Structure 1
Amino acid sequence: MRGNHRGSVPVLLLATALWLTACAGAGTSDVKNDSSGGTPKTTDEPVEMVFAQLTGNFSEESFMQLYGNKIKAKFPNITIKYIVLKNEQHLKELLSIKQPFDIVIGSIGTTPSYLLASELQTDISDQIKLQKYDLNRLEPTSVEIQRQMANGGIYGLPISTSSAALYYNKDIFDRFGIPYPKDGMKWDELYDLAKRMTRNEDGVQYKGLTMSFNHMMLMNQSGAISVDPKTNKANFTNETFKQAFENLARFYQIPGNGVPNNKYALAGQTDPFYKDKTAAMIMTTSGSGSSLFKDAVNWDVVQIPFLSDKPGVGPQSYPGYMYMTKLTKNREMAFKVLAYATSDEWQLDSIKTGNGPILKDPGIMKNFGVDVPALKGKNIQSLYPKKFADPTPKGKYQNIADVEMLNALNDVLSGTDVNTALKQAAERVNKKIEEQGS
């Protein structure tokens, strides 16, 4: 799953995550400063730290504006080196030539294909204990995601979060004389509304609803898991997964609301809403595409619908994490950077510019987006649910599952029955996992 970053800093930052590779039992006592066997640098000695963003082509300028300048101001002894990663393969190539990384940043969506696939993660539990860091300050599901991934440990600290929300184009609703979506809807209500808004008028095909299918499944409210973390087998034929899949797939089956050329990924879903202005609604991450809002679309936002058996439970949190890696030679200093990114000082500044809060204090949302003109007068309280759904495990094979899930979606929309499509997709996932494991 890719972020939606561009060359300039977006108005609302999609949550990004810092990832570190786990070295079992690693602690400060066995980390060497260099190959000659020196001891780690103290936190006030000059040190170079190498950073990377786990999103293709995230520029150094954007990195410094969002993170680097704050780190330099807080820790003047740190010299920052930033490496632009083109893609997952580029990271692997750099690691093959022994390029070190101290800290990496990325979303929960980029974690499996970058951090875990490259085995850069490291359990930071030793530093949490050593530096007496209080995890109870943090939104609990963002911590639970790490616990699941690290088998009880923690690889990184959340620095922002996103979730999912339902944006709508007020002008299209006004044109058709249909009331706007509202908070507290059930999924069937949204489905009926999408059918009413899907129509061809004056030669223009209007879509009732478009969405980022992968993100919506990653953040599903029902607890559907793509890959069983215990067996490393696809979970597509599980009834809970099937129900979550069908709940979203049915929107594409509304006549006139399909996706041409199988463009189910985020980029292919955003144009009808932001650019063409022919989609009445879009379900996507809480900050996705917000740099395009400005005055281009007369928009507002409401909550994602609730499941009938889980009233009041929104989608899952979609955090961005900051991770130290197993390659760092200064665990203590690296952790201080992570801890600072979760401090009240950093978070208040981040929240004012439209990044989702990761602190547990519910009052912090009153500062959300106050420095963003495009958010003034909008229903911004609905960008983040009052209660996140329980997080589902997302391991190193998540990217494989995501690809085959979209293939299954295409098969269903091409006429294959859902049971067959999901069974065949599961078989392909299992085969790829076996091949990768061997």
Structure 2
Amino acid sequence: MKTSHTLASAAVAALMVLAAGCTGGQSASTNGQTDKQDGHTAKANPEPVKLTLQPVGAGYLYEEDFQMMVAEPLKKKYPHITVEYVMPSKGTMIEDLVAAKTVPDILLYGIGNYTQYRDLGILTDITPTLTKMKIDTSRFKPWVLDNIKVDGKLYSLPYAMNTNAIYYNLDLFDKFGVAYPKDGMSWDDIIEVTKRLSRTDNGTAYKGFMYLNSYWVGYQLSLPFTDAAKKKSAINSDGWSRVFQMMKTIDTIPGNERGSPVADFYDKRILAMVGAYNLVPTLKQDKYQTLRWDVAGYPSFKEKPNIAPPVDLHQVTISNSTKHPEEAMLVVDLLTSEEVQLISARRTGRASPLANKKIEQELGAEMPLIKGKNVTSFFASQPAPNVVFANEDIAVQKSIDKFYKDYSSGSIDVNVLMQKIEEDANQAISVIKSK
């Protein structure tokens, strides 16, 4: 999954068992000694510490969410730590801050930003700090940390996931008497439903299904865009050939010709289903409150049932230049604690990377927009393993966008498509390598 984007109720609230290392209040020692609490070593009468935090984009942590998920919990648990929110904008983009040697203490970013942050030289393996501070990472889903490790090193902890699902328009299914999509459907199933929903009625052309972009399905099989060792396109493969052929099957269903997934689903309301990551932040807008929608599990390949595209794991870490690594890590630990993750799930609709099923069930519990929705469908499939993102991947994606329409229109066959993508992308990659 690439740049971020974007992207998942039972009553549990105050009775939830809080994560070890993340929940207790800080006690002061009267004899000047330190004491163990929640797995951390709490200093008596700690000196005030001021830190800075920056998300790679506002959508990773809106300022109002920062207050709810960082500032307010800190006041209760670690009142000696205050954090300033730094919005990325002209003059305060991460590259600007690196140049000015004012890198924030805490960084929030997505999988697609890893190589940028790595190349800026601001990341550090946080494993030694986690070990030193006895921070328990067993609270995360088993596959989550493996998906963000690079060469066995852990540079961050995840605090949110853009889960994948089918969003569907209830009115269109009702209008045409078609059963709602359900969890566990295969791509073949979706293609058959799409055929039934792609039709013209009273002069309006309705479409059945669209995936989000022209390489989205490739994520699902964890297909690489580039050969990391050779720094060349890896698109000319049996796996990508299969993906392109399936995409064409969907896009050439009569009446389902590809348009704009966003405009057709949200605004025109002529698209019955869209396969996407978390659309809740968009659906929160007032103009979409009359759209009757629900969700079902993302479709999968038959040989890999219930495997969805990789999730965009939103990550939080400490910079390697912070002067307060332990205090910064306390903030990271608090943001990823069960206590704060419950707040996040209930109030912001962010899917949690933690293994706690009760947090999954509470997704959107305090959001009228999500009330009554099939929130368990956000977690119906296990994400495919992530492919480590490389800067060169963008060149391949642009080449796919450039030539795919020639293939879907029938102008070229799939072998010529992959050849054109490979040649075009390799030229672009050679320019990147020369810089």
TM bucket, shorter chain? 0.7 to 0.9
Aligned partner of 1:432 in structure 2 is 428
CA contact (8 A) 1:43 1:333 kept: no
Q: Deviations over 1:225-273 (max 9, x none)?
A: 222334333221121233234323432233433345xxxxxxx521211
Secondary structure of residue in 1 paired with 2:316:
strand
Which is worse superposed, 281-290 or 165-174?
281-290
Flag the structure with larger Rg: 2
Aligned partner of 1:46 in structure 2 is 48
276, 283, 289: which one aligns with 1:284: 276
Identity %: 26
Change (3 A) 1:207 1:325: same
Change (3 A) 1:275 1:362: same
CA contact (8 A) 2:233 2:425 kept: yes
412, 416, 425: which one aligns with 1:416: 412
Give the counterpart letter for 2:304 in structure 1: K
Q: Distance in 1 between matches of 2:383 and 2:56?
A: 24
CA contact (8 A) 2:217 2:309 kept: no
Give the counterpart letter for 2:417 in structure 1: A
Change (3 A) 1:121 1:249: farther
Determine whether 1:373 maps to 2:371: no
Determine whether 1:391 maps to 2:386: yes
Q: Distance in 2 between matches of 1:420 and 1:215?
A: 17
263, 270, 273: which one aligns with 2:262: 270
Change (3 A) 1:71 1:437: farther
Aligned partner of 2:123 in structure 1 is 121
Aligned partner of 2:145 in structure 1 is 143
Q: Distance in 2 between matches of 1:100 and 1:201?
A: 57
Give the counterpart letter for 1:54 in structure 2: V
1:67 positional shift: 3.5
Aligned partner of 2:377 in structure 1 is 382
Give the counterpart letter for 2:5 in structure 1: G
Give the counterpart letter for 2:139 in structure 1: R
Aligned partner of 2:331 in structure 1 is 337
CA contact (8 A) 1:215 1:285 kept: no
Aligned partner of 2:186 in structure 1 is 186
Which is worse superposed, 131-140 or 242-251?
242-251
Aligned partner of 1:401 in structure 2 is 396
Q: Distance in 2 between matches of 1:46 and 1:168?
A: 50
Change (3 A) 1:131 1:89: closer
Aligned partner of 1:102 in structure 2 is 105
C-alpha RMSD of matched pairs (Å): 2.9
Q: Distance in 1 between matches of 2:157 and 2:361?
A: 23
Q: Where does structure 1 lack aligned partners over 5 or more consecutive residues?
A: 6-40, 261-267
Q: Deviations over 1:34-85 (max 9, x none)?
A: xxxxxxx999332332211112687644543444433454332233222222
58, 74, 77: which one aligns with 1:74: 77
Secondary structure of residue in 2 paired with 1:213:
coil
Change (3 A) 1:200 1:83: same
1:320 positional shift: 1.0
CA contact (8 A) 2:70 2:331 kept: no
Secondary structure of residue in 1 paired with 2:239:
helix
Q: Distance in 2 between matches of 1:119 and 1:343?
A: 27
Determine whether 1:356 maps to 2:351: yes
Change (3 A) 1:227 1:69: farther
CA contact (8 A) 1:340 1:346 kept: yes
Give the counterpart letter for 2:395 in structure 1: I
CA contact (8 A) 1:286 1:384 kept: no
Q: Distance in 2 between matches of 1:165 and 1:243?
A: 21
Aligned partner of 1:28 in structure 2 is none
Q: Distance in 2 between matches of 1:425 and 1:356?
A: 35
Summarize the alignment of residues 160-171 of structure 1 with structure 2, pairs less than 5 Å apart.
Answer: 160-171=160-171
1:139 positional shift: 1.3
Give the counterpart letter for 2:375 in structure 1: I
CA contact (8 A) 2:54 2:108 kept: yes
290, 310, 314: which one aligns with 1:316: 310
Q: Deviations over 1:144-191 (max 9, x none)?
A: 1221xx211011100011221011111111112222222222111101
Secondary structure of residue in 2 paired with 1:209:
strand
Report how many residues are paired. Answer: 392
Change (3 A) 1:402 1:78: farther
Secondary structure of residue in 2 paired with 1:382:
helix
Q: Where does structure 2 lack aligned partners over 5 or more consecutive residues?
A: 8-42
Q: Distance in 1 between matches of 2:177 and 2:90?
A: 45
Summarize the alignment of residues 170-319 of structure 1 with structure 2, pairs less than 5 Å apart.
Answer: 170-213=170-213, 216-217=216-217, 219-220=219-220, 222-260=221-259, 268-288=260-280, 289-292=282-285, 295-319=289-313
Q: Distance in 2 between matches of 1:110 and 1:408?
A: 26
TM-score of the pair, normalised by structure 2: 0.80
1:331 positional shift: 1.8
Aligned partner of 2:25 in structure 1 is none
1:198 positional shift: 1.5
Q: Distance in 2 between matches of 1:63 and 1:258?
A: 41
Secondary structure of residue in 1 paired with 2:108:
strand
Change (3 A) 1:158 1:214: farther
